[in-house]
Amino acid sequence: MAALAHKTLYLALDDHDVSTHVIEIEIDLHGETHDVTSGSTTTHRQYAAGMLHTRYSVTLAYDIETVASYIGGLRPGRVIGLDYGIEGTAAGKPRHKARVLVTRVQLQRDRAKSLVNFRIEAINADAPQFDAWAGGVYS
């Protein structure tokens, strides 16, 4: 079984490195489909590939020392830069970099008051500059 390099990740929002605050990140790539079924003897539907779209969900721990550097981008309706290195930023490692439209922001706090975090949801605002699913890597 392969192991992640150094078990690290890299995440920057608008060029602010928030890697140490990441609790969870989820990138969900979807492909639309188009029904192209035709003919009188067809017994199964037929589909063709459509446009791709990507949804992002990032949960960051609240850090009183650095929150001011990235909280300004955590607003629905704002387009921000997202740069994600699944295994850090080493040359040849997968990279996903895109401009994303923030669609939702949640502030979460547990009952014990020991953890405060932000959950940010976004969608691609444009095609990715580096697409990890299409071979995008750090150089």
Q: How many CA atoms lie within 13 A of 3 on its CB side?
A: 4
Q: Which residue has the higher pLDDT, 120 or 41?
A: 120
Q: Give the pLDDT confidence of 46-94 residue by residue, as tens digits.
A: 999 999 999 999 998 876 666 666 676 688 999 999 999 999 999 999 9
Name the percent of the chain lying above pLDDT 70. 86
Q: Which residue has the higher pLDDT, 127 or 73?
A: 127
User: 116, exposed or middle or buried, with CB in 10 Å at 0-12, 13-18, 19+?
Assistant: middle
Residue 85 contacts residue 95 (beta carbons within 8 Å):
yes
11/138 Cα distance (integer angstroms): 13
**Which of these, 123, 124, 132, 120, lies nearest to 58 by C-alpha position?**
120
Residue 98 contacts residue 129 (beta carbons within 8 Å):
yes
Give me the mean pLDDT over the 122-133 stretch. Answer: 95
Give me the mean pLDDT over the 17-36 stretch. Answer: 92
Average pLDDT, the chain: 87
pTM (predicted TM-score): 0.82
Give me the mean pLDDT over the 118-135 stretch. Answer: 94
- What are the chain's domains? 8-30+49-134 (2.40.10)
What is the DSSP code (8-state) at residue 14? T
H or E stretch covering 68? helix 67-70
34/29 Cα distance (integer angstroms): 17
88/124 Cα distance (integer angstroms): 21
Give me the mean pLDDT over the 100-123 stretch. Answer: 86
